[in-house]
Chain A
Amino acid sequence: MIRFEKRESTSTSLKILIPTVSIILGILIGAVAILLKGINPIKVYQALLIGAYSSKYTFSETLVAATPLILISAGLIVVFKMNFWNIGAYGQYIMGAIFSSYFAIFWSPHIPKLIMLTVMVIAGMVGGALWAIIPALLKAYWEVNEVISTLLLNYIALFILKFLMYGTWRDPLSHGFPLSKPFPDNAQLPRIIPHTRVNLGLIFGIIAVVVVWYLLKKTKFGYEIRVIGENPNAARYAGMNVAKNIIIAMIISGALAGLAGMVQVSGIIHLLQIKINPDYGYTAIIVAWLAYLDPIVASFFAVFLGGLASGAYQIQITMQVPFGIVGVIESAILFVLIGSEIFMRYRLVFDVGKKKHSGQEETL
């Protein structure tokens, strides 16, 4: 008979083993999907690696994809630490993009760049934070399940974006396409590596990681969310204000997701449109989990998953493998990772030679 037994502690080796195995299994499951298309998966993965990391330009594209992942996952780690499941980075990212785009679209192109970008950064963070406060308040005061509220707000954000893009924010010169007018130069984040799309957003990401790390490791706020996440009863017993901390943590998480949305429109796309890749909001969940909620480790996984995404654009063109394969790999990784949680808490025990009861009934 096989049974589960509670582990007393989780070893560090397991914390390395489980993400590694998850990634390998994710890649294997992706391989099966590629095989079904009749293509040699080894060649595809080879092309994917080349597409992601081989040259300066391809690696720069990996960093471009990693930037929003770094920003969003840093914020998610703050709320995940307190067992608050923000699935709404997708919507917070969209709201950040919308808020910051307002200034790029409607303000004068002659405003000094520094002022314009500062306003856009603040607007992006405010937009994301406002969208995040809604589920935080619902949870803190009415115990509404945050998984549902954050998830549903994603769709509302998407429809607000669509409403604007098919409505008043559409560029009259776009021939009916749902695009805003292009951002003027003063609303574009400066590139930091010449001839690539790597922009100031990456620096924002690095700052965010350091700030979050500091917040969690050194401050009273970090201490409180650790206690609340692990044992809310103890937190109340010690007089901590659980509701206040939920709201602050969600403001941080939403602001960083909103900033990622701002970086995407201001640094990469240079206009607002319906397709602004909010899916980063979901991928960042995987990043945070692979890193076991360590913001510094998470930034490396962000580069890894960013590479998967940018490499996938290459294989789509060169090998006719659909981009969706990355989604398959990512979801398989998350699936295995979350499934493996049980091994972090329990160990498998094999009982051998347990005597079977005799069928005969004895009488007292």
Chain B
Amino acid sequence: MAEYILQARNITKKFPGVLANDHINFDLKKGEIHTILGENGAGKSTLMNILDGIYYPNEGEIYINGKKAHIRSPFDSMRYGIGMIHQHFMLVDTLTVLENVILGLKDQSFFINKKQIANKILEISNRYKFDLKPFAKIWQLSVGEQQRVEIVKMLFRGADILILDEPTAVLTPQESEALFEILKKMKSEGKSIIFISHKLNEVMEISDRITVLRKGKVIGTVNKDETNPVELAKMMVGREVLFRLQRKPLERGEEVLKVENVEAYNDRGIKVLNKIGFTVHRGEIFGLAGVAGNGQKELAQVITGLRKATNGKVFLLGKDITNQHPLVIANSGTNYIPPDRLKVGLVPNLSSIDNAILRRYRKSPIGSGILVNYKKAREYTESLIEKFNIMVPRIDAPVKLLSGGNMQKLLLAREISENPALLIAVHPTRGLDIGATEFIRKKLLEVRDSGMAVLLISEDLDEILMISDRIGVIYEGRITGIMDAKDADVRKIGLLMAGSTEEESATVH
């Protein structure tokens, strides 16, 4: 029993409408690096937040060294020797390294012996070759150094179990390498590490064992030496390939969208689009598959004008629309279903009418002069509600009262009704129930049949396989492969998603 330092039994966590963790069992051996692998929304972060005491599970128990642990807050988890390093650092920018390390520690005396603490920080820092200065301010440090401060913080508090939530997402490749060296050193000193990731190559490099989660369930735990990226990709994305939805056989029409060598940076200033290029044609759904965080979000933003491309060109129907104002791009025939309907696509506190006219309030007949014709706006909203069968409590009730499915229907209705040449849909069915999901997918096929070009960006591979005509795979901001959906093969896509090039993945067969 003592072999396992941490065991989670039957952990179940429900959020409204979602079963984030479904009877999860998970064991961590002393002195191992154990990776939790899974797509976005698989439940990795929820499970880790439970171990760290941020969430409390609806069911299930946690055992530390064989004894049942009651973890109700991060303070409790610290007492059990668990330290979590979040993806978004929990540091105070304007304070020093030392101040951040002791922040929240309860056993400090009123007068703080900074010298003694600084020595202890230096000792930890030197042991792992962190090269940290205890009196440097956090804002002066690079992202990699800040992450090391987080690690020191946990070690200072005596953590034996370290949880790293997608630690490499914010790092450059060199910084990632350095982090892996640190993790290996800590492992050799008996620390146990839970490593969360969805990047197969680094998982294969660093892990001893790997547990794969999908849709809130454990798919399996494997030893690194007994597995390979192909198997992991299969476990991660799911085996069952659903039937492809019915569609009109259509010849590929004229080119609507052309993306050429586009480069762009994310909000943290890291390059996330790396000379990406592809085309989307009339009458086709081009499905872009990929693990979250490989540049999908930024790609959609660049095409719609919400993010600047630093290099490359975007053409719509042959016209250069690179870095144009979002309004200009929308008016030249692009509509966009953003990934986050509540944060970007809709205004939750405003009514269905106000939300329905977001694309139309400037144009006649709803917009007239400086005024908005709310009578026309109401009629228009009523027509959308009827045509798309949207259930609303009242037409002027805030849209936050609608179910997720009906919100998405409203958003889809609004965007499709502009009858654009190109529709970009990012995660159009995320978090929706089966009925709404099916409705949205059918609608996407319908507009494709009518000749629209659809760019579907999704992490749900099933969805991509079900409705796309062609499939492209994005990895680290570039296209690793494009194939016809009819000859698509999950294994191959899984490998491309993990960063192998098309030639490499061909040799695996």
Q: Scan B300-331; emit 1 where CB is below 8 A from any A CB, else 0.
A: 00001010000000000000000001110010
A364 to B68, CA, bound (A): 7
> Does A362 have its Cβ within 8 Å of any Cβ on chain B?
yes
Contact among A221, A227, A231, A239 with B327 in the assembled complex (CB-CB below 8 Å)? A239
Contact among B63, B330, B357 with A364 in the assembled complex (CB-CB below 8 Å)? B63
> Does B250 have its Cβ within 8 Å of any Cβ on chain A?
no
A237 to B411, CA, bound (A): 13
> Does B19 have its Cβ within 8 Å of any Cβ on chain A?
no
CB-based contact A8/B336 at 8 Å? no
Contact among B336, B338, B358 with A227 in the assembled complex (CB-CB below 8 Å)? B358
CB-based contact B372/A219 at 8 Å? yes
Residue of A nearest to B342 (CB): A231
> Does B361 have its Cβ within 8 Å of any Cβ on chain A?
yes
CB-based contact B66/A230 at 8 Å? no
> Does A363 have its Cβ within 8 Å of any Cβ on chain B?
yes
A222 to B371, CA, bound (A): 9
Distance from B323 Cβ to chain A, minimum over Cβ atoms (Å): 14
Distance from A70 Cβ to chain B, minimum over Cβ atoms (Å): 24
> Does A177 have its Cβ within 8 Å of any Cβ on chain B?
no
> Does B400 have its Cβ within 8 Å of any Cβ on chain A?
yes
Q: Scan A223-242; emit 1 where CB is below 8 A from any B CB, else 0.
A: 10011001101101111000
CB-based contact B359/A233 at 8 Å? no
- Evaluate whether A8 and B400 lie within 8 angstroms (CB atoms) in the complex, with A223-B354, A237-B344 already known: yes
Residue of A nearest to B373 (CB): A218
Residues of A within 8 A of B41 (CB): none
Distance from B505 Cβ to chain A, minimum over Cβ atoms (Å): 36
CB-based contact B398/A9 at 8 Å? yes
CB-based contact B358/A234 at 8 Å? yes
> Does A195 have its Cβ within 8 Å of any Cβ on chain B?
no
A261 to B336, CA, bound (A): 47
- Evaluate whether A364 and B348 lie within 8 angstroms (CB atoms) in the complex, with A220-B370, A236-B306 already known: no
In chain B, positions 363-417 with a C-beta closer than 8 Å to chain A are 367, 370-372, 374, 397-398, 400-401
Distance from A244 Cβ to chain B, minimum over Cβ atoms (Å): 13
A221 to B369, CA, bound (A): 11
Residue of B nearest to A221 (CB): B370
CB-based contact A364/B372 at 8 Å? no
Residue of B nearest to A357 (CB): B70
Contact among A9, A220, A239 with B330 in the assembled complex (CB-CB below 8 Å)? A239
CB-based contact A231/B361 at 8 Å? no
CB-based contact A220/B362 at 8 Å? yes
- Evaluate whether A234 and B344 lie within 8 angstroms (CB atoms) in the complex, with A218-B371, A219-B371, A226-B350 already known: yes
A239 to B400, CA, bound (A): 22
> Does A351 have its Cβ within 8 Å of any Cβ on chain B?
no
In chain B, positions 326-357 with a C-beta closer than 8 Å to chain A are 326-327, 330, 336, 338, 343-350, 354, 357
Distance from B356 Cβ to chain A, minimum over Cβ atoms (Å): 12
A8 to B398, CA, bound (A): 10
> Does A341 have its Cβ within 8 Å of any Cβ on chain B?
no
CB-based contact A239/B325 at 8 Å? yes
> Does B9 have its Cβ within 8 Å of any Cβ on chain A?
yes
> Does B7 have its Cβ within 8 Å of any Cβ on chain A?
yes
- Evaluate whether A220 and B367 lie within 8 angstroms (CB atoms) in the complex, with A8-B401, A238-B359, A362-B68 already known: yes
CB-based contact B343/A363 at 8 Å? no
Residues of B within 8 A of A227 (CB): 347, 350, 354, 358
Residue of A nearest to B341 (CB): A234
> Does B1 have its Cβ within 8 Å of any Cβ on chain A?
yes
Residues of A within 8 A of B343 (CB): 231, 233
> Does A361 have its Cβ within 8 Å of any Cβ on chain B?
yes
A357 to B400, CA, bound (A): 37
In chain B, positions 1-44 with a C-beta closer than 8 Å to chain A are 1, 7, 9
B326, B345, B346, B371 — most chain A CB neighbours (10 Å): B371
Residues of B within 8 A of A9 (CB): 397-398, 400-401
Distance from A350 Cβ to chain B, minimum over Cβ atoms (Å): 18
CB-based contact A219/B370 at 8 Å? yes
> Does B67 have its Cβ within 8 Å of any Cβ on chain A?
yes
A8 to B17, CA, bound (A): 14
CB-based contact B345/A237 at 8 Å? yes
Q: Scan A326-364; emit 1 where CB is below 8 A from any B CB, else 0.
A: 000000000000000000000000000000010001111
Residues of A within 8 A of B336 (CB): 237
Distance from A10 Cβ to chain B, minimum over Cβ atoms (Å): 9
CB-based contact A234/B345 at 8 Å? yes
Residue of B nearest to A8 (CB): B401
Residues of A within 8 A of B367 (CB): 220
CB-based contact B348/A231 at 8 Å? yes
CB-based contact B325/A230 at 8 Å? no
CB-based contact B66/A364 at 8 Å? yes
Contact among B1, B325, B372 with A223 in the assembled complex (CB-CB below 8 Å)? B372
A233 to B370, CA, bound (A): 23
In chain A, positions 158-191 with a C-beta closer than 8 Å to chain B are none
Distance from A274 Cβ to chain B, minimum over Cβ atoms (Å): 39
A357 to B68, CA, bound (A): 11
CB-based contact B372/A220 at 8 Å? yes
Residues of B within 8 A of A362 (CB): 67-68
In chain A, positions 203-227 with a C-beta closer than 8 Å to chain B are 218-223, 226-227
CB-based contact B346/A234 at 8 Å? yes
A218, A220, A230, A238 — most chain B CB neighbours (10 Å): A238
CB-based contact A230/B350 at 8 Å? yes
A237 to B359, CA, bound (A): 10
Distance from A231 Cβ to chain B, minimum over Cβ atoms (Å): 4
- Evaluate whether A237 and B306 lie within 8 angstroms (CB atoms) in the complex, with A223-B354, A227-B354, A363-B66 already known: yes
CB-based contact B401/A234 at 8 Å? no
A137 to B181, CA, bound (A): 49
Distance from B28 Cβ to chain A, minimum over Cβ atoms (Å): 14
Distance from B399 Cβ to chain A, minimum over Cβ atoms (Å): 11
CB-based contact A220/B400 at 8 Å? no
A134 to B59, CA, bound (A): 56
CB-based contact B70/A230 at 8 Å? no
Residue of A nearest to B393 (CB): A9
A363 to B350, CA, bound (A): 53
Residues of B within 8 A of A222 (CB): 372
Residues of B within 8 A of A361 (CB): 67-68
A223 to B373, CA, bound (A): 11
Residues of B within 8 A of A8 (CB): 400-401
In chain A, positions 308-326 with a C-beta closer than 8 Å to chain B are none
A230 to B327, CA, bound (A): 20
- Evaluate whether A218 and B401 lie within 8 angstroms (CB atoms) in the complex, with A231-B348, A237-B338, A362-B68 already known: no
Residue pairs across A and B with Cβ atoms less than 8 A apart, 11 shown, are A220-B362, A227-B347, A227-B358, A231-B343, A234-B346, A237-B326, A237-B336, A238-B330, A239-B330, A364-B9, A364-B66
Q: Which 6 residue pairs across A and B have the least CB separation, nearest first?
A: A239-B327, A231-B347, A239-B326, A233-B344, A362-B68, A230-B347
The residues of B with any CB-CB pair to A shorter than 8 Å are 1, 7, 9, 63, 66-68, 70, 304, 306, 325-327, 330, 336, 338, 343-350, 354, 357-359, 361-362, 367, 370-372, 374, 397-398, 400-401
The residues of A with any CB-CB pair to B shorter than 8 Å are 8-9, 218-223, 226-227, 230-231, 233-234, 236-239, 357, 361-364
| Extra contacts besides A218-B372, A364-B66 (19): CB < 8 Å | A8-B401, A219-B370, A219-B371, A220-B362, A220-B367, A227-B347, A227-B358, A230-B347, A231-B346, A231-B347, A234-B345, A234-B347, A234-B358, A237-B304, A239-B325, A361-B68, A362-B68, A363-B67, A364-B7
